Structure 1
Amino acid sequence: MDEFASTFIFFFAVIDPIGTVPVFLAVTAHYDRQLKRKIALQATAISAVILLFFIVVGELILTALGIPLSAFEVAGGVILFLFSLTMIFGDGKPEEELKLTHSSTEKAIFPLAIPSIASPGAILAAIMLTEKDRFHVTEQLQTAFIMLLVLVVVLILLLCASWIDKLIGKSGASVISRIMGIILSAVAITSILSGIKNYYGL
């Protein structure tokens, strides 16, 4: 149960469902309720396909390139750590990704599906948490299920975006994004230490 919760929190941090809400509101500001619902469903579905794709073939790609998983684990941890720092000290996910909407408001899937939901951090997490040498098929399926569960949370929040915006506002979403960044930074350091340990066989 603890492992289930930790994996859920990990994916929740890297996907950052609450931080996606202001981006969604900006992208769909001039659309009616029915179209907003359609965009939310499309963005979540596309994100699920992308992340499941990397769960299935991400490790195979690394193997074909001759990259050891321990090295990828360290690299992924470093990238996740840098990503977490931008969440903590930077503009924050909502403000940063809202800037992308100025040139692409007509394409609501961007920046929603990529890079807001299926972010680089989420892709790295999907690969690292389903390594075939470390996790059994059952565990990999469980991780995929947890990831999809987080995406269900994303969908629910997007469908309730207008209400959530009134409740917490952009400032509230920014605060939550920074808290998720702190959690993610600790997870990233753990990944780096684990990768170093596996590489040297400690």
Structure 2
Amino acid sequence: FLLSSLAIDFAAFRLAGSIILFLFALDMIFGTSKPDSEIKEAEQHADEALDAAVFPLSIPSIAGPGSIMAVIVRTDNDTFTLGEQAMTTAVMFVVMGIVLVAMLAASHIERLIGSAGASIISRIMGLILASIAADGALHGVQEFFALG
């Protein structure tokens, strides 16, 4: 509804979202994202438990533009049936549960794999995310030019 109200073609939205997702993936692959500096800053502010400026470090990644775009793309009423949208919703809740468990076990996982292991996993996940973004961009271009 919002996209049609603003006269934004869904294919253009999908392409733009995929580009943003791809840029986020590049940050993960090349290690230019801010988690290390954010971790150091959070450690410096650890004594200030009531400081509202210190949030969990993963929130921007979990509820950032890429994940919002993914939900919007996967729930397009013109493309997906109600059953497919329900499946997307169910998968979203399963992923939220997995993320919750991973966040609760983060310190144990980091002790197990170490910071080098975390860096390697981040880069591998960035590559997978870049592949998903490229696929979304290709589908956006295909939809825009009605190629398929």
| Band of TM-score, shorter chain | 0.7 to 0.9
| Structure 1 equivalent of residue 65 of structure 2 | 120
**Aligned-residue offset at 1:115:** 0.7
TM-score with structure 2 setting the length: 0.83
Residues of 2 paired with 1:109 and 1:61: CA distance? 33
Residues of 1 paired with 2:114 and 2:2: CA distance? 41
Report the AA paired with residue 153 of structure 1.
Answer: I
CA contact (8 A) 1:130 1:143 kept: yes
**Aligned-residue offset at 1:109:** 7.3
Residues of 2 paired with 1:93 and 1:141: CA distance? 34
**Aligned-residue offset at 1:111:** 4.1
Q: Which runs of 5+ in 1 are unaligned?
A: 1-59
Q: Secondary structure at the match of 1:131?
A: coil
Of all paired residues, the percent bearing the same amino acid is 47
Pairs within 5 Å for 1:101-116:
101=42, 106-107=51-52, 110-112=55-57, 114-116=59-61
Distance 1:74 1:164, change over 3 A: same
Matched, 1:196 2:137: no
- Cα-Cα RMSD: 2.4
Residues of 1 paired with 2:2 and 2:130: CA distance? 26
Matched, 1:141 2:86: yes
Report the AA paired with residue 160 of structure 1.
Answer: A
Q: How many residues align?
A: 143
Residues of 2 paired with 1:81 and 1:160: CA distance? 28
Q: 1:156 aligns with which of 101, 104, 110?
A: 101
Q: Secondary structure at the match of 1:107?
A: coil
Structure 1 window deviating more from structure 2 (95-104 vs 80-89): it is 95-104
Distance 1:75 1:158, change over 3 A: same
CA contact (8 A) 1:76 1:124 kept: yes
Matched, 1:64 2:5: yes
Residues of 2 paired with 1:118 and 1:150: CA distance? 12
| Structure 2 equivalent of residue 91 of structure 1 | 32
Structure with the greater relative contact order (CA < 8 A, sep ≥ 6): 1 or 2? Answer: 2
CA contact (8 A) 2:17 2:65 kept: no
Q: Secondary structure at the match of 1:124?
A: helix
CA contact (8 A) 1:88 1:179 kept: yes
Residues of 1 paired with 2:2 and 2:39: CA distance? 32
CA contact (8 A) 1:74 1:191 kept: yes
**Aligned-residue offset at 1:91:** 3.1
Cα deviations by residue, 1:23-79 (Å, 9 ceiling, x for unpaired): xxxxxxxxxxxxxxxxxxxxxxxxxxxxxxxxxxxxx32222111100001111111
TM-score with structure 1 setting the length: 0.63
